[in-house]
Amino acid sequence: MTATLGMNDLVAGKYRLVAMIGEGGLGQVWSARHELLGGDVALKFLKPTEASKADAVGRFLREARAASALRSDHVCKVFDVGTHQGMPFLVMEKLEGEDLGSLLDHCGTLQPSLIAEIVVQACHALSEAHALGIIHRDVKPENLFVLWRGDRPIV
């Protein structure tokens, strides 16, 4: 499978890719614009090398299903799933902010009260997930996204 993604690609007839905003070992995340509604979303694609593996596709779809079941203010919302050029993708809310790992890299030490607020919010999300039988197997600063409402963090 040699599918590639590029700026201005139209996905599922309605999501226009704007820019790649992240890439990991298993996938890519793109900023996209909904052509009909005009809103911005994030599309997470499973890489073609992984899309050919049934177990990877199954995990990806379970992740989407699990995330869409959570109602916490501290979990990124999942709106849709699909396949584009053989690559499964999910459509998520596009968040403006940065992951905690990057925040720590450029700010260094954070105030204890700020860290406490971030940890408590992350625990609220994990608690809801655990109540639904969902176990997050990769909790780390790079997987906690921090938005700001004034001087208050929202994880």
Q: Are 147 and 95 in contact (CB under 8 A)?
A: yes
CATH homologous superfamily of 10-93 = Phosphorylase Kinase; domain 1 (3.30.200.20)
Q: What is the pLDDT of residue 2?
A: 53
Give the integer Cα–Cα distance in Å for 125 and 2: 37
Question: pLDDT, tens digit, for every residue of 54-104?
Answer: 898 998 898 889 889 898 899 999 999 999 998 999 999 999 999 999 999
Question: pLDDT, tens digit, for every residue of 15-42?
Answer: 999 999 988 888 899 999 999 999 999 9
Cα-based angle 131, 81, 7 (whole degrees, multiple of 5): 130
The Cβ of residue 95 has, within 10 Å, a number of other Cβ atoms equal to: 15
Give catalytic residues, as residue numbers.
138
Question: Any idea where the domains of the chain sit in the sequence?
Answer: 10-93, 98-154
- 3-class DSSP state of 19: strand
Q: What is the pLDDT of residue 137?
A: 82
Name, in order, each residue with C-beta under 8 angstroms of 33's C-beta and a sequence gap of 6 or more. Answer: 15, 16, 18, 39, 40, 41
Beta-bridged to residue 79, according to DSSP, are none
pTM assigned to the model: 0.85
